[in-house]
Amino acid sequence: MASQDPDTERQRRLRAAQRVVIKLGTSVVTGAGGELWAERIQPLVRSMAALITEGRQVVLVSSGAVGLGAGRLELHPSRLKDVVVRQACAAVGQSLLMHAYEQLFRLHDVKIAQVLLTEDDFTDFRRYTNLRRTMEKLLKLGVLPIINENDTVSTAELEYDQSLAASGQERVFGDNDRLAALVMSKLEADALILLTNVDGLFLHQPKATNVKQTVSLQEGAGLSNSITKRSDGEDEQAVPIPVVEVITDELKAIAKGPSAGGRGGMLTKLEAAQIAMQAGGVCIIANGKTPEILDRIVAGEQIGTMFMSTSRMAGKRRWITYAAGVRGRVIVNEGAREAIMGGKASLLASGVMRVEQQFAPQDVVSIADCDGHEFARGIINCASEEAARLIEATSTHQLGERGRVLVTRDNLVLSEQR
């Protein structure tokens, strides 16, 4: 990417994108009172219909169901802190949302389909594969799939409880940004467009200084340009970062927390962008309120922030890294860690010290060192009970057990690649 002009590459990849996943944030779909913002949605629908007419395949991931439901039920925002209330609002709002989309897309002779997903549709590899078959068939039939999390039965997106994260477990998706990215990854779409209420990714305001300074993040934060700051802490040019080629910890530190209306924020959008880049596609974060925003994006215009990379992770490895839920953990000795990190070794029973938590064959497990630090993840070949038996057999030097492979190399992903 460094040898190519970013603007030229941007135009080439967006103009050539044949399969596009578009995510509309809550602030784009609904107004302050929880009503559908028809004046804003109509031009976006018109643009999506035009893309389909010209032969592109479009998938829509839409937020807004909870807000619409709360508005219809005339509930005060304070009531939405209760998860069950939010589920009830989602049940009411989802039908309102789909009815609105049906009416809007019918004007452009576009057929739509509702697809409600839960985490199990991603964590179970068979369901994950079946999801693609269904989506592929819908797209071949010329249907526009409209996707949302099934909030009525799944609380992953609705809950704010951090207990899972504290225990070392991760949710597959807790917001529609990540959900859209996982769908984009599974369908191997060319582009992911996240439309929100901001113009893109901006740098934090720096501390006041006595002189002008140019902050170049080409190396540190993967930015393709330099941004000049004024001594009063304001941007000389109030424009978003145009292109990001590498998402680093420094760049993630720039992102802020959740927005007031939605459940995500810029950090979740960066995580979604990272998934899109690993899938070999591009991601655009832009303002859904900007006139003709979709037309301008797919034309390759420099608007919003574009994330693009030349690297690509294989499909199964992307599933292990981003979509699969971690079911347990194995603690390995230093020799096994070095063999896995330094070469192309599989994980053998002889290198495992103990297993933690229960897991079944073909579950994804965390692989950690003696200090408990995860350095890899992989698909385990046996259940936790059998793994424990194999470890014991190895320690007592029973024949035929020492070389048993618990995780093969092609089912293993290093944390530094995540």
- Domain end, chosen from 274, 295, 318, is at 318
Do 144 and 63 fall within a single domain?
A: yes
Angle subtended at Cα 22 by Cα 108 and Cα 283, rounded to the nearest 5 degrees: 145
Is 342 inside a domain boundary? yes
Do 195 and 344 fall within a single domain?
A: no
Is 235 inside a domain boundary? no
Do 334 and 384 fall within a single domain?
A: yes
| φ, ψ dihedrals at 124, nearest 5° | -90, 120
Angle subtended at Cα 185 by Cα 12 and Cα 359, rounded to the nearest 5 degrees: 160
Q: What is the pLDDT of residue 225?
A: 43
322 vs 413, which has greater pLDDT? 413
Confidence of residue 331 (pLDDT cuts 50, 70, 90): very high
Report whether pLDDT(253) > 90: no
Q: What is the pLDDT of residue 403?
A: 57
Strand partners for 42: none
Do 259 and 343 fall within a single domain?
A: no
Q: What is the pLDDT of residue 322?
A: 73
Measured distance CA(112)–CA(134) in Å, rounded: 14
DSSP symbols for 71-131: HHHT--GGGGGSHHHHHHHHHHHHHHHHHHHHHHHHTTT-EEEEEEE-THHHHSHHHHHHH
Average pLDDT over the chain reads 81
- Domain end, chosen from 318, 350, 378, is at 318
Confidence of residue 123 (pLDDT cuts 50, 70, 90): confident
What CATH number should be reported for the domain holding residue 44?
Answer: 3.40.1160.10
329 and 356 in contact (C-beta within 8 Å)?
A: yes
Neighbours of 415 (CB within 10 A): 15
Is 57 inside a domain boundary? yes
Is 33 inside a domain boundary? yes
Find the domain containing 380 and state its range: 326-417
Q: pLDDT per residue over 163-193, tens digit each?
A: 333 334 445 555 789 899 999 988 989 999 9
- Domain end, chosen from 318, 350, 377, is at 318
Q: pLDDT per residue over 79-93, tens digit each?
A: 888 889 989 999 999
Do 112 and 58 fall within a single domain?
A: yes
Is 69 inside a domain boundary? yes
369 and 340 in contact (C-beta within 8 Å)?
A: no
- Integer-rounded Cα radius of gyration of the chain: 23
Per-residue burial over 324-342, b if 16 or more Cβ lie within 10 Å, else e, is bbbbbbbbbeeebbebbee
Is 232 inside a domain boundary? no
Number of domain units in the chain: 2
Report whether pLDDT(1) > 50: no
Do 272 and 332 fall within a single domain?
A: no
Residues with Cβ < 8 Å from 272, sequence gap 6 or more?
A: 177, 178, 180, 181, 192, 194, 283
Do 135 and 254 fall within a single domain?
A: yes
Q: pLDDT per residue over 129-160, tens digit each?
A: 888 899 999 999 999 999 998 866 655 444 54
Q: pLDDT per residue over 102-122, tens digit each?
A: 999 999 999 999 999 887 787
Do 140 and 273 fall within a single domain?
A: yes
Measured distance CA(286)–CA(27) in Å, rounded: 12
What CATH number should be reported for the domain holding residue 366?
Answer: 2.30.130.10
Q: What is the pLDDT of residue 397?
A: 61
